[in-house]
């Protein structure tokens, strides 16, 4: 296996080698690694719900009632009543007729595209869409057209040139891009999908729980839920739990139950996780101050960055600081770590060559004082 060693050596030489950080404790916006405590700016626990007492109690009660595992797929004996309770709550939140639970966001995206599209179809995908979306499209065999990030002129050109050559067509986008923190021009995408007779799938993984009157996401925030055919999202970010969902018409979810291999051939999520997800959705209604406070902190973070002459993309809780080369991103991450801040570098192939960055993930648990210290004291001195 000499070729494997050569690959790893090359990755290390180019500052691209990945390794696992092992935490002994993580709670309240802090993480303990190798006996040291850091302020954690790499977590997706945006609303700080992962350690909420209500969620923990719900998981404990479900384990006592149903056991530790579903022990089968949902098409066998793993379909517990609480699965349907969760799906009904997701459908209601998302403004859709039905919902279907998946074991992870990757599993959902790798399965739904293959179920719904084939080589006779075309899929138009934003160039910055998540790897799980791209992998799902490739598995489907559909013709993939990637339009420049948030470039509606390029999308329109591709649709005009190629749409008529295919049986069915789909446009797919994230609503908060995971590495850039920005939004797509969703209303323009809707206009184009209607003009060219396409379906539309949006991935709300990083938007659910944060945006919109009820925390449903960007589609709700922009009043466009009814224009979207399928809304996908996850429980493992702002909702502080695990798993994923697809919200759509009942016809579509019934079709996925019958055709989606990643759903059919997987053991169902553990009862504890299902119950935790239900509790998370209830907390969106009970504690709306969490998302309001998070958005305020996001605006503050951007304000402080501007105060030291740094500009970044988007205006969400995901704040990228693009530094260019991987070596520079790694060095800056190490400087921040030495100062007590855990902010990991994001490098190719996750982002394009020359766009390595630090990705700051804000959470409800980060105090304004810590945000100010991070930017005005630590980050500014590191960049001098």
Just list the catalytic residues: 44, 130, 174, 178, 203, 206, 237
Name 173's bridge partners. Answer: 202
C-alpha triplet 270, 232, 108: angle, nearest 5°: 50
Report how far residue 101's alpha carbon sits from residue 99's, in angstroms, rounded to the nearest whole number: 7
Rounded to 10 degrees, the C-alpha dihedral 321/326/327/331 comes to 30
Question: Contacts for 260-264 with beta carbons within 8 Å, 24 or more apart?
Answer: 260/111, 260/112, 260/114, 260/115, 261/111, 261/114, 261/115, 262/102, 262/103, 262/107, 262/108, 262/110, 262/111, 263/74, 263/100, 263/102, 263/107, 263/111, 264/73, 264/75
Report how far residue 6's alpha carbon sits from residue 343's, in angstroms, rounded to the nearest whole number: 28
Q: How far is CA 72 from CA 22, 80, 158, 328, in A?
A: 31, 10, 44, 47
Which tokens in the block code for residue 170? 């789909």
Q: For 69, how many CA atoms within 13 A lie in the half-sphere containing its CB?
A: 5
CB atoms within 10 A of CB 18: 8
Q: How far is CA 17 from CA 55, 179, 271, 281, in A?
A: 36, 19, 36, 37
Residue indicated by tokens 């749409």: 163
- Residue 42 DSSP class: S
């Amino acid at each position: 296996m000499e070729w494997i060693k050569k690959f790893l050596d090359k990755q290390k030489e180019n500052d691209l080698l990945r390794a696992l950080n092992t935490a002994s404790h993580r709670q309240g916006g802090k993480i303990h690694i190798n006996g040291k405590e850091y302020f954690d700016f790499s977590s997706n626990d945006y609303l700080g719900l992962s350690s909420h007492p209500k969620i923990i109690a719900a998981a404990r009660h479900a384990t006592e009632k149903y056991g530790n595992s579903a022990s089968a797929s949902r098409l066998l004996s793993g379909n517990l009543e609480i699965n349907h309770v969760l799906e009904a709550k997701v459908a209601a939140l998302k403004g859709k007729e039905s919902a279907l639970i998946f074991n992870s966001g990757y599993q959902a995206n790798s399965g739904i595209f293959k179920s719904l599209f084939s080589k006779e179809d075309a899929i138009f995908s934003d160039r910055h869409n998540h790897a799980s979306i791209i992998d799902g499209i490739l598995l489907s065999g559909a013709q993939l057209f990637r339009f420049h990030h948030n470039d509606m002129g390029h999308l329109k050109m591709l649709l005009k040139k190629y749409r008529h050559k295919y049986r069915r067509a789909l446009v797919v986008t994230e609503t908060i891009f995971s590495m850039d923190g920005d939004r797509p021009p969703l209303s323009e995408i809707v206009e184009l999908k209607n003009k060219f007779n396409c379906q539309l799938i949006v991935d709300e993984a990083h938007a659910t729980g944060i945006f919109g009157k009820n925390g449903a996401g960007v589609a709700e925030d922009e009043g466009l839920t009814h224009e979207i055919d399928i809304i996908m999202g996850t429980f493992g970010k702002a909702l502080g739990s695990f798993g994923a969902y697809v919200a759509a018409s009942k016809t579509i979810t019934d079709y996925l139950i019958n055709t989606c291999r990643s759903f059919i051939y997987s053991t169902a999520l553990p009862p504890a996780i299902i119950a935790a997800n239900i509790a998370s959705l209830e907390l969106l209604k009970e504690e709306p101050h969490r998302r309001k406070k998070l958005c305020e902190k996001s605006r503050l973070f951007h304000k402080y960055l501007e105060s030291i002459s740094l500009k970044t993309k988007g205006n969400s809780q995901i704040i990228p600081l693009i530094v260019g080369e991987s070596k520079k991103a790694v060095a800056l991450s190490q400087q921040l770590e030495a100062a007590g801040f855990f902010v990991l570098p994001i490098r190719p192939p996750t982002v394009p060559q020359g766009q390595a960055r630090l990705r700051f993930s804000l959470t409800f648990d980060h105090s304004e004082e810590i945000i100010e210290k991070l930017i005005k004291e630590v980050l500014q001195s590191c960049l001098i």
